Copies of this chain bind each other. A is one copy, B any other.
């Protein structure tokens, strides 16, 4: 279980704990609706990352970007998967083509499209 996912969650929770006593393992587990022992195990990477649903709640709880957290767990949200699944040919081609493009190029594409350039 050597993923960075748990370490990231722990660091983030400990930071929040400095500012408020509401971020102990137990309190967080309570709000996530899961067992404290499970939170502990996930944070220490003793078990693999949880399900998508749990990760999304966790992201909200810690104020983190859900896509980033899912990515650390090696996953992609069902929402984004659906985008691809509905038009696999175009989006597969698009992703392979843009795979190595630098960030700024991708963001330019986003901007162009948003500005109604189609």
Contact = CB atoms under 8 A, between A and B. Distances in A.
Copies in the complex: 2
A74 to B, nearest CB: 6
A27 B6 CA distance: 46
A99 B83 contact: yes
Interface string A60-84: 0000010110110011110011011
Interface centre among A68, A90, A104, A107 (most CB of B within 10 A): A90
Interface in A87-107: 87-99, 101-107
A34 interface: no
- Residues of A in contact with B, size category: 35 or more
A113 interface: yes
Interface of A: 65, 67-68, 70-71, 74-77, 80-81, 83-99, 101-110, 112-114, 118
